[in-house]
Structure 1
Amino acid sequence: MSSQVRLRLLPSARCLFDQPVQVKVEGLRSRQKGVVFSSSATYRTDGSGKIDLLRDPSLSGSYFGVEPMGLLWSMKAETLHKRFQKSCALNPHVVKFSVHEEDREDRMLAEVTNERPLTGNGVSRVPVKGRNFQGVLFTPPGEGPFPAVLDLCTLMCEKRASLLASRGFMILTVPVYTDHPDNIKQMHLDHFKEAVDFLQQQPKVGSKEVGIMARSKGGDIALSLAAFVSGVKAVVSINGCNAVVSVPLYYQNHQIISPLGSDITKLITTESGASIIKYGLGDPLAEENKYSLVPTEQAKGHFLFVASEDDLNWDSKAYMDQMAERLKHHGKENFETLCYPGAGHLLEPPYSPYCPSSFHRIVHHVVLWEGEARAHAEAEVHLWSKIQEFFRTHLSCDAAQTKAKS
């Protein structure tokens, strides 16, 4: 490495996963070209031998143009169809940035490590197990009270919950599937209501009214909780369906909603080996599927419906529009809609590596989630801020004074 070249991460080399960092390089030769970062971005230095990703464009590599966080969202796995995942929030993500001189056999000039924890200082993480649910409870530092949110993840993942807790919310994250999806023949809303009840009973919760956040299959469970269970004040449904998917939904020992049918023969296999499954799910508005629709008009709370226009898992945009129309038909105005052109199905907290395809454990295929990397990354940044704003608006206590620090 060159002792004269300095690679800096501002404001600090340690920050929460959902925080941006500024990458600056100093001590290079004037107008030097060919500084390659580990995620394949090539830059040219300015007249003083500096590079600042806030202002300087990438000339080639994984992305082009001025993209301050492009080195993170453009990362790709060495093999196809791999998703960047970490189910537990205990250990931070560690990203190594390095500067190389392209014209001199890729010689490393400087390197620095960015530690990106998923949990802010003072946030507590407590595994919990109820009679019919299991999950992890994240609580911000301080006495509270805090607004409370139930995070329904399809399979257990703590990233979204731990980061939101670091922004001042008490979060209980619970998986929709506690067993292999093939082994689950029906779902019971009572199990998820038990999680809502548990959250409401926490002494630091500021209100008996809670929020729910969910994506994909978790979306129809979140909508059903809002429709059938009291105390649900705000729901964020990200790329969810307006009908119950996969298996029938039961509540208080009775089937309340039938599952929407699907046709696996409508899968489209692409050259990469990944399948497009978007067209395999039945039409929620077809007459034969009317008993699969979630009666969202029964809900007392507020909804934020989010859809990615380039979602290849299913037609999220159509489902969002149908939910909005149903509520309007019943004279309801308790909803907002957000649509993201160019975004794919897997909307995550910001600055995650973009994932266009990976193995789908429910359909047993590698599938295309799709989207375009830059547009998808921009959607994640905007949505993450919007989620926090929505919950602060509709949940009764303000978390602004109790925000955790990284």
Structure 2
Amino acid sequence: MFQLSATPQSALADDPVHIHVTGLPPSRVVTLKASLKDEKGNLFRSMAFYRANEVGEVDLEQAPAFGGDYMGVHPMGLFWSLKPERPFRRLLKQDVMNSPFWVTLDLYDSICFQDSATIQPKASQTVQRWFSGPGVQRKQIREGRVRGGLFLPPGEGPFPGVIDLFGGIGGLIEFRASLLASHGFAVLALAYFAYEDLPDKLQEVDLGYFEEAANLLLAHPKIQRPGIGVISVCKGAEIGLAMACYLKQVVATVCINGINASFEIPLRYGDLVVTPIRSAQERLQVHVSGAVRIRHCKGDPRDELHQQSVLPVEKARGWILFIVGESDECLDSKAYDEQAVDQLRSHGRSSGRMLAYPGAGHLLEPPYAPLCFASWNPGISRPLLWGGDPAAHAAAQEHAWGEIQQFFRQHLIKTRSKL
């Protein structure tokens, strides 16, 4: 009798799941499939082919897939290889508090491709992937100009405080903040355009808004003082780096695939205005998929013409962790972050460190999230190419997630460490 087990059946989205098949004839070839629908009804699917061992078992912690969406031993491969049925869709959890993603796992006792809808699986299991742990609380933030969602771990605290920034997609994205809160951090997922009464489009980066958010977070009775952290990606990473440079409240900053200069729109902080580097639209490249590669449209901050746009990272009071996907097709983020680290060192500072991941793309997210190779972005007529190899990207996400938490624990709990 074929049996398919997946444990735990209900867990956080960044927890691994152990998938195990028993009751097979020895050496039987089987297909395992995974599927889920997001909150908009978009379908994501994956599959892999396995061969049972001599006792009729397939244990994904040990057994190599020999085909399908990945090959080799990848215990969570069915999760990180999920692909959208309709192209250019990104898997994003919207409601992080009240509902999980439901992932259905199906077992077939032969090679079975995705379009074999008439064949019934021999066994099935459904697992729940939650984005907030027991006791995590969410508070809607509408104070002064600041808009966002504050996630607090269970308990009295005080907790290390973190501001979470995403990029050009706009709106309020909370899945990373809620997961970090599930691991003991108090996290403000901060919107800065295209949300409620904030501007529909980002015309300038007003650093005063982000300083207001930092002060609001530090004033909360459950937030540990004297400083906070920032986790940021893409345009958010550019802003996060600027926060590290100019705001004394920020003592630990994670910049994921960002740039070391003001880009495309001006940065303002009081009377200070940082002139942006403009993109070269004529360098746009169209990938065979139809998505646009904009990696080569960015100006080089090392160019003398752009020196006034480079962020003064040597002024940062805290620690900075740069995380880079070397197959990022949106930004040459490795080159930008190498420049930032060199700039720190040239001023005698050792407070910046870079983690570079070969094969990883632009959208590095918490573990087991599927690679989004390209997707639609608001206000752009073509999908944007993000890049990345699925297996390498998945390995990068898993490693970086642990490094991010360790970095914040080290530098937020010991904020008085000397640079």
Same fold, TM-score > 0.5, yes or no: yes
1:226 maps to 244
Change (3 A) 1:113 1:62: same
Change (3 A) 1:284 1:176: farther
1:9 Cα deviation after fit:
1.3
1:77 maps to 84
Give me the whole-angstrom Cα distance separating, in 1, the residues matched to 2:252 and 2:178: 19
1:98 maps to 106
1:346-385 equivalent positions in 2, closer than 5 A:
346-361=363-378, 363-385=380-402
- Greater mean deviation of Cα atoms: 177-186 or 233-242: 177-186
Of the three residues 168, 174, 191, the one matched with 1:158 is: 174
- Whether the 8 Å contact between 1:278 and 1:314 is mirrored in structure 2 is yes
1:303 Cα deviation after fit:
0.5
- Whether the 8 Å contact between 1:99 and 1:110 is mirrored in structure 2 is yes
Give me the whole-angstrom Cα distance separating, in 2, the residues matched to 1:121 and 1:320: 37
1:183 Cα deviation after fit:
3.2
2:69 maps to 62
1:271 Cα deviation after fit:
2.2
Q: Deviations over 1:43-85 (max 9, x none)?
A: 1112222110000111210011111000001111112221111
Change (3 A) 1:215 1:263: same
- Whether the 8 Å contact between 1:349 and 1:380 is mirrored in structure 2 is yes
Give me the whole-angstrom Cα distance separating, in 1, the residues matched to 2:332 and 2:192: 21
1:36 has 2:36 as partner: no
1:281 Cα deviation after fit:
1.1
1:362 Cα deviation after fit:
5.3
- Whether the 8 Å contact between 1:206 and 1:397 is mirrored in structure 2 is no
Q: One-letter code of the match for 1:21?
A: V
Change (3 A) 1:182 1:243: farther
1:184 Cα deviation after fit:
2.8
* TM-score (ref. length: structure 2): 0.90
Of the three residues 258, 261, 280, the one matched with 2:275 is: 258
- Whether the 8 Å contact between 1:210 and 1:233 is mirrored in structure 2 is yes
Change (3 A) 1:9 1:367: same
* TM-score (ref. length: structure 1): 0.93
- Whether the 8 Å contact between 1:36 and 1:99 is mirrored in structure 2 is yes
CA RMSD, aligned part only?
1.7
- Whether the 8 Å contact between 1:76 and 1:353 is mirrored in structure 2 is yes
> Unpaired segments of 5 or more residues in structure 2?
35-45, 113-117
Q: Say which SS state the counterpart of residue 395 (structure 1) adopts.
A: helix
Q: One-letter code of the match for 2:92?
A: Q
Q: One-letter code of the match for 1:171?
A: V
1:183 maps to 201
1:275 Cα deviation after fit:
1.2
Give me the whole-angstrom Cα distance separating, in 1, the residues matched to 2:52 and 2:307: 61
1:131 Cα deviation after fit:
1.7
- Whether the 8 Å contact between 2:18 and 2:60 is mirrored in structure 1 is yes
1:297 Cα deviation after fit:
0.9
1:31 Cα deviation after fit:
1.8
Give me the whole-angstrom Cα distance separating, in 1, the residues matched to 2:199 and 2:72: 42
1:314-353 equivalent positions in 2, closer than 5 A:
314-353=331-370
2:38 maps to none
1:108 maps to 121
Q: Say which SS state the counterpart of residue 157 (structure 2) adopts.
A: coil
Change (3 A) 1:100 1:181: farther
- Whether the 8 Å contact between 1:207 and 1:397 is mirrored in structure 2 is no
1:17 has 2:13 as partner: yes
1:181 Cα deviation after fit:
8.0
1:387 maps to 404
Q: Say which SS state the counterpart of residue 376 (structure 1) adopts.
A: helix
- Whether the 8 Å contact between 1:158 and 1:173 is mirrored in structure 2 is yes
1:37 Cα deviation after fit:
2.2
> Unpaired segments of 5 or more residues in structure 1?
399-406
Give me the whole-angstrom Cα distance separating, in 2, the residues matched to 1:292 and 1:377: 34
Of the three residues 176, 188, 197, the one matched with 1:172 is: 188
Give me the whole-angstrom Cα distance separating, in 2, the residues matched to 1:181 and 1:366: 23
1:402 maps to none
> Among the aligned pairs, what percent are the same residue?
38
1:26 maps to 22
1:403 maps to none
2:2 maps to 5
Give me the whole-angstrom Cα distance separating, in 2, the residues matched to 1:236 and 1:363: 27
2:132 maps to 119
How many residues were matched structurally?
393
Give me the whole-angstrom Cα distance separating, in 2, the residues matched to 1:325 and 1:36: 47
1:30 Cα deviation after fit:
2.1
Q: Say which SS state the counterpart of residue 98 (structure 1) adopts.
A: strand
Of the three residues 232, 237, 244, the one matched with 2:262 is: 244
